[in-house]
């Protein structure tokens, strides 16, 4: 019996170089479109994560409306330039690294151990996060400040470096890396598992219906975000802290808990 590779069937007949190029392009495009679409919601989320205000849908809508009224429509996308500077290489690297890690780990969708699916996703997340982390911190800073403090992405880097030093660019790195393991691992694991089950029980062709693929992605996103969300709060508190209130992961957890 032949092995059924866990690689995308559309990619398995390509050379490794072609797979890398295809993954880079697909990842960069998907990441840019997705993040631009949800940028106002992402900015809202970050502002609630670093505040002591309890979240509610009403308060989230109020934040969006106040931002629009006081700062203008495009203020809802404040920090999106930093997001694009990060998400394009991040998504490109993540998609490419995932394909490469699957090959290294010899992931097999039908016969291979399920933990390899998780491990390939986690390693892809760690790889992409480590290579683009300073941009993630810059995006968080821009999301929680007004334009007069950081008007451009370049100004974020210059101001942080001159006032806080180069180490500030890596503030929150530890909880981010800890959190990306369940986040990326569960995201890719869930999506690949749902694709396998779909092919086994619904349609054994290699082509998955776009609606099914969208649903699988949504389910994977919900599960992965839920498993890693506490780490996301810790990293955002540390990333946006310029006063030394959150010096490390342990003390940040204690502060948030209290």
Q: What is the pLDDT at residue 1?
A: 37
Tokens 């806080």 locate to 164
Q: What is the pLDDT at residue 160?
A: 95
CATH code for residues 16-257: 1.50.40.10
Tell me the pLDDT of the chain (258 aa) as tens digits.
334 445 555 555 666 677 677 777 887 888 889 889 999 999 999 999 998 888 889 999 999 999 999 989 988 998 888 888 888 898 889 988 998 898 898 886 555 567 888 999 999 999 999 999 999 999 999 989 888 888 889 999 999 999 999 999 999 999 999 999 999 999 999 998 998 889 888 877 667 888 998 899 999 999 999 999 999 999 999 999 988 899 999 999 999 887
**Quick one: tokens of 113?**
């151990």
**197, 189 Cβ separation under 8 angstroms:** no
pTM for the structure as a whole: 0.80
Tokens 């219906």 locate to 209
**Quick one: tokens of 64?**
């969006």
Closest CA to 92 of 33, 21, 140: 21
CB atoms within 10 A of CB 147: 12
Determine the Cα–Cα distance for residues 98 and 160; give it in Å rounded to an integer. Answer: 32
Closest CA to 14 of 112, 141, 118, 99: 99
Closest CA to 23 of 72, 78, 104, 92: 92
Determine the Cα–Cα distance for residues 215 and 18; give it in Å rounded to an integer. Answer: 28
Output the furthest CA–CA distance in the chain (Å, rounded): 65
**Would the CA dihedral through 85, 86, 87, 93 be positive or negative?**
positive
């Amino acid at each position: 019996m032949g092995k059924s590779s866990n690689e995308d069937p559309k990619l398995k007949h390509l050379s490794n170089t072609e797979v890398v190029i295809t993954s880079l392009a697909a990842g960069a495009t998907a990441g840019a479109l997705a993040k631009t679409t949800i940028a106002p919601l992402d900015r809202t989320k970050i502002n609630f994560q670093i505040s002591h205000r309890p979240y509610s849908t009403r308060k989230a809508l109020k934040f969006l409306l106040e931002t629009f009224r006081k700062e203008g429509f495009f203020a809802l996308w404040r920090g999106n330039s930093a997001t694009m500077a990060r998400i394009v290489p991040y998504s490109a690297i993540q998609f490419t690294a995932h394909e490469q890690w699957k090959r290294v780990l010899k992931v097999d969708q039908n016969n291979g151990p399920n933990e390899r699916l998780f491990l390939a996703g986690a390693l892809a997340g760690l790889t992409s996060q480590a290579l683009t982390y300073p941009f993630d911190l810059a995006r968080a800073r821009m999301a929680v400040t007004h334009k007069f403090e950081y008007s451009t992405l370049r100004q974020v880097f210059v101001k942080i470096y001159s006032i806080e030093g180069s180490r500030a660019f890596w503030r929150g790195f530890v909880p981010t890396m800890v959190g990306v393991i369940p986040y990326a691992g569960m995201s890719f694991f869930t999506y690949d598992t749902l694709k396998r089950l779909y092919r086994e029980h619904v349609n054994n062709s290699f082509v998955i219906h776009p609606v099914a693929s969208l649903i699988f992605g949504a389910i994977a996103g919900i599960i992965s975000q839920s498993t890693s969300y506490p780490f996301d709060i810790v990293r955002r508190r540390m990333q946006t802290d310029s006063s030394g209130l959150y010096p490390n992961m342990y003390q940040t957890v204690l502060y948030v808990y209290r």
